[in-house]
Chains A and B, each alone.
Chain A
Amino acid sequence: MSGFRHGQGRLGDATLHFSFDGKPMLGRAGDTVASALLANGVEVVGRSFKYHRPRGVTSSGPEETGALVTIGAGGKADPNARATMEPLTQGLEVFSQNCFPSPKFDLMSINGLAGAVLPGSLFSAGFYYKTFMWPAALWYKFYEPSIRAAAGMGTPPKVADPDIYDRIQSFCDLAVVGGGCAGLAAALSAAQSGLRVVMFDEHNDLGGQLLNEVNNQANADLEQWRVNTIAALYAAGNVKVLTRTVCWGRFDGNTLAAHQSVDGKVRQNYHKVQAKKIIIAAGAIERPLVFGNNDKPNVMLASGARRMLNHYGIATGKMLAVFTNNDSAYQTAFDYIDAGIKVSALVDSRQYPSQELLDGCASRGISVHTQAVVTQAKGWQAVRSIEIADLAANGERVSNRRRVECDVLAHSGGWTPQVQMASHGGKPPIYDKKIAAFIVDDQAPDTYSVGAAEGENGLLVCVAQGVEAAKAACALLGKEAGPVALPPQERAGATNIVPLWSVPAKGKQWVDIQHDVTAADVVQSHQEGFVSVEHLKRYTTLGMANDQGRTSNVNALAIMAKCRGISIAQAGTTRFRAPIAPVSMGGFGGREVGQYFKPVRRTPMQEWHENAGAVFVQAGMYMRPQYYPQAGETIDDAYERETAHVRQKVGICDVTSLGKIEIVGPDAAEFLDRVYINMFSTLKVGKARYGVMLREDGIVYDDGTTSRFADDRFFMTTTTAKAGPVMAYLERCLEIDWPELKVRVSSVSERWGAMAVAGPNARATLTAAFPSVDFSNEAFPFMGVVHAEHNGAKMVLLRISFSGEMAFEVYAESEHATDIWQTIIDAGKAYDIVPYGLETLGALRIEKGHVTGAELDGRVTLGDVHMDGMASKKKWFVGKNLKDREGMVHPDRPQLVGLKSVDPRTPISTGSILVNDANASAGADKQGWVSSMTYSPELGSFIALGFLRGGKERIGQRIYAAYPVKGITVEVEVVSNHFVDPTNERVKG
C-alpha cells in the first residue's frame, strides 16, 4: 500500500461502504472512486490496454489515464469509467479491467515483456496494419483471437441496460462551459443581467483548480470566495447549474451537447442546449512528462496528487518526489511537506527555477535537483524509487545517475488548455510558445474563450477575463452584467515552463498511457514515413482511447516535430471532434428504446386482427396482418390457403396503410394532369382511374388509383411506402412550381380505414352487407365509385382490383371501420369469406402481374414495366421531357416479365440474378434480376416477377435465376407477367 487517509480535506464524515473486485472497502461521502481506492491503499487498479501493464490512479480529474474501472454489475455495468470522475456511493460495486485473474497478478502482462524482447512486438506502432499483411489463414487462427483476448478495456454488459435515460432540450441566453474560477465569475456576473444562464461542470464539486488549494485557516478567505460565489449562483433564479455534466460538443447555431449524470430513477440526462452566447471556461489540464516507466502506479500528475491531499484528504504516499519542467508542481511539494509528509526530492529539468521557489524549498528542507531529470520510475509494480540524472545543457543526454527513495512521484510537464470546445467552432488550434501548448483564438461575437482554456494561469486574471466576457456577451444581448468581487488572494501566474518533451534515456516512455503508445512508437511511425499529424495518430492509435488525447497530444506532436526537424507550430495539430469525453449511448437514445424506438401505426381494425389470431408484420411504420394461421398451419400453409380461397370464394384484406390524399379546387383536374402521365381531366365524376407518376428525370415515381368525387374534388391513393413523400411532393408542386393553380391537397390517410373485398363472391358478400347499394355491373361497373352510408358511417366504395379478381375497396370513416369490417365478415359468412394478410395480398398481385415497390424501385422507366402506352401525348406532365432519352428507351433495358420455376416446387429467391448460362459467373452474364416471388396455388408452381433483357420477346425461353451468395441456381421459364386472367375478364365480371 502507498496511499492512505490523511486528513479531512473538504469531505464530510459519513462513511460509505463499497467493494473493489468483491473486496469490501470503506470510503467517505464526497470521495470519488479513485480517492476511495487510494484511501484503501490500492495501487494497482487495472491493467493497460495492450501490454497489460499495471496501472493506478494518475490524476484527480477527467485527464485520468490509469484508473479505468467498471462501475456496477449486470445491466447497470458501466465499463471504462474514469475512477476520478465517479462519485462514491453507498454499496457501489467497482471492478478492475483487462486483467486475469487479478490486477496485481495478471497472466497477460507477458505482452509487455514480449514487446521488449521481440523485434517489432505484437502491438508496436502500426500493428493494426502490419498484422493484416500476414497470411490470412494465420490471422483468423491465431492473431485475431489472441489480440482479442489480450487487448481491450472493460467488457460491455451482455444484458439490456435497465436504467432510464432522458433527453432534455433547453434554451438559454448564455452558456458557461466550466465551473472553475473563470466560469464561476462569468456566470455570477451574467446572472446579474437577468438573462438566462446555464453553467456546466463535469465535476461533482465546483471551483476547478481552487479545489487543489489546501483548506486551512490561511486560505479561509479564498475558500469563502469559492463557496459564496457558488451559493450566489444557486440562489439566482435565472441560473441553472449543472454539475457532473460533461459538455462534450459544440455544434452549428451555438448548440451545446452535454451528458449529465444524476442519481435517481433516471441515470443520465442528455442536454441539448441552444445558447445565444457561449463562454468557454474549460480550464487546462496538466500533462505528463515522458520518462521511463512513467505509467507505473503511484506516478501521478502533480496537480492530481495535490487535490487528493487538499480536497479528499488522501496522502498519495508516505514519501513524495516531484519532477517538473515548470513552476506549478512546487506547490504540491510544499503542501505535502507542510502536511507532514516527507518529500525526498524535487527534480527540475530547468537550469534556473525562480529564487522564490528555491527559497520555499530551502525553508522546508526539500532537496532540489536543477537541470536534472527522472530517467525512470522503479518498483515491481508500483513506484518504490526513482532514478534521476543530470541533464546536459543541450538536453540530449544525461549523466550522474542516482537513486532517490519515494513511493509516489508527482510530475508536471506543463498545462494544456482545454481547447476542444473552442476548436469545434472550426478554428484551428495554434501553438503558443509561452505556455508550450495550443490555444484557439475564438473570441466574440458568439463565443468567448477565457481563463486557463485560453492559456492564462493567474487566478485573478482568469476571474477578470470571465467577468469581462460575461459583460461583453450580455451587452450584445442588450443587458448589463454585474460586478464580481475579486478573490482575496492571488494564485500562481506564469508557470515559466521550459519544455522537456522526452527524457533522453532508455526505457519504456509512455506518451499515450491509456492507449499504450510509447515515445518509441512515435519515432518509429516517423521512420516508417508518416509525416502528418493525422497519419501519426492513425498509425500509432495515439489519442484514440477514451481521454481522446487530452494528455498525450502535445507531447506526441512535439516528439514528432523533433524527428522531422520542424517546430511544433509547423507540425500543427489535428482539430478536435465531438465528443470530447466518453458519453453513454443511452443518453442519445433517451426514452426512444425498445418498442419506443420508432412510432408504430396501427389500423382501426388492429384489435379485430389480433382476436382473429393474425400474425403481424411491420410494413413501413404500420403493423399489418401478415397471415391468419389456422391450427397447425405454417406461414406457407396459411398464405397458400388464403390465396386459393380468394380466387375460389372471397376474402377481405386490411389496406388502410395506403396513402390517401384529397385534392380539391377548381384546378384540381389540371393539377392531376400535370403530375400523372395519363389524363385525369377527362375522368368522369363517380369513376376511378389508375395513374402513374414520373420523377422529373423520367423514372417511375409512384402509382395508385385516383377517383373523382366531384368536378373539383379528387381522392388519390398512393403506395404505402410513398404516402409521405408523395404528399410532400404535391405540396411542393403547388407552392413552388405552380402557385397559380387553385388547388389544395390534404392528407386523409388517417381519416379512412380501408379494406379490399376480393373474389368471385365479393359482389354477393357486399350486397348482403350493404343492401342499400346496388352492386350490379350496370350500376357499379369496374372502376366505378359509389358513396354510401351504413349505420351512420360514411363509406366510399371503389370497384378496383389489385388481385385480379372481382374486387371492391371499401373506405370507411376510421372510427366506424371495424364495424364496417365486421358487417362484411358477418354478411360474408354465407359466402365463405376469410380474412387474408399481406402475404396473400402479395401472392395475388404477383399472379396478376401488378407492380409494386419491389418493381418500382427508382430505376425503372415506363417502358420497363410496359406502361409507355399510358403516357398521354396530348398534354405535358412531370417527367415527359426526359423520359424518352436514349438510355431510357434503349431496347437492351431489362423489362418486366413473369418467371416460372421449371421444377414447380423449387422457389425462386427474390434478388436472384437472371443468367443465360447456369455455369457462367453472374457478373459476366447478367440478363436481369428477380424482384418478387411467391408460390401460386392457381398455377401450382413457384412464380416470380423480374426484369429481363429482351423482355417479352423471350417468353418461352428457359434461363436461370442465380443466387451466388447462397449458391442457389434455379432453372426458370420466361412467361408473361400476367399469370392469371390476362384478359381482365374476372375483374369486369
Chain B
Amino acid sequence: MLRINCPYCGEREHSEFTYGEDATRTTPDNDAPMEQWNTFVYERINPAGEHLEYWHHAFGCRAWLKVQRNTLTHDISWVGLPHENPQVQS
C-alpha cells in the first residue's frame, strides 16, 4: 500500500486519502476563451514517471495536499501543501 507523509499528520496509509486530480494544470483566467477552458478540463498529459497530483486527507485532517508520485513505480517522493513544489534535483 502507498504511504503518504501528510505534513500535518505524519505518514499515513493511502486508504486515509482520496485522490483528487492532476496538480500540474494551471487554471485559466475567468475570462479566458472557451477553447482554453476546454483544454484545461479535458486534456491530460498522463506521463510515465514522476507526476504531481492532489490528494485529500479525507479520513484525517482533511487537508488537500500535493503529492509527487511515480506513475511507473508508485513511489511517492515528495508531499507538500497545495502551493508548494518539490525542489528540482540538480
Contacts and interface: CB of A to CB of B under 8 A. Distances in A.
A697 B41 contact: yes
B2 A252 contact: yes
Interface in A866-888: 876, 880-882, 884-885
Given A732-B56, A737-B27, A253 B2 contact: yes
Contact of B34 (A251, A255, A881): A881
Interface in B15-47: 18, 20, 27-28, 30-32, 34, 37-38, 40-42
A739 interface: yes
Nearest to A876: B30
B41 A735 contact: no
A696 interface: yes
A885 B58 CA distance: 33
A735 B82 contact: yes
Nearest to A746: B62
B82 A736 contact: yes
Interface residues of B, number: 27
A274 interface: yes
B74 A252 contact: yes
B2 A728 contact: no
Nearest to B31: A876
A881 B32 contact: yes
A739 B1 CA distance: 31
A731 B58 CA distance: 10
A952 interface: no
B41 A272 contact: no
Interface string B35-76: 001101110000000000010101000111000000001100
Contacts of A735: 63-64, 82
Q: Is the interface of A mostly helix, strand, loop or mixed?
A: mixed
Contacts of A880: 30
A184 to B, nearest CB: 28
B38 A882 contact: yes
Contacts of B62: 728, 731
A885 B34 contact: yes
A253 B74 CA distance: 8
B20 A881 contact: no
Contact of B1 (A274, A426, A697): A274
Interface string A252-283: 11010000000000000000101000000000
A732 B38 contact: no
A879 to B, nearest CB: 10
Interface in A225-270: 251-253, 255
Contacts of B3: 253, 274
A737 B83 CA distance: 10
A736 B54 CA distance: 9
A739 B18 contact: no
Contacts of B40: 696
B41 A696 contact: yes
Nearest to B82: A736
Contacts of A885: 34, 38
A728 B56 contact: yes
A736 B64 contact: yes
User: Which of A696, A731, A732, A735 gathers most chain B CB within 10 Å?
Assistant: A735
A739 to B, nearest CB: 6
Contacts of A876: 30-31
Nearest to A674: B30
Given A732-B64, A881-B32, 6 more contacts: A253-B1, A253-B2, A274-B3, A880-B30, A881-B34, A882-B37
5 contacts: A728-B62, A735-B63, A735-B82, A737-B27, A882-B37
Interface of B: 1-3, 13, 18, 20, 27-28, 30-32, 34, 37-38, 40-42, 54, 56, 58, 62-64, 73-74, 82-83
Interface of A: 169, 251-253, 255, 272, 274, 426, 696-697, 728, 731-732, 735-737, 739, 876, 880-882, 884-885
By Cβ-Cβ distance, the 5 closest A-B pairs, closest first, are A881-B37, A876-B30, A735-B64, A252-B74, A255-B1
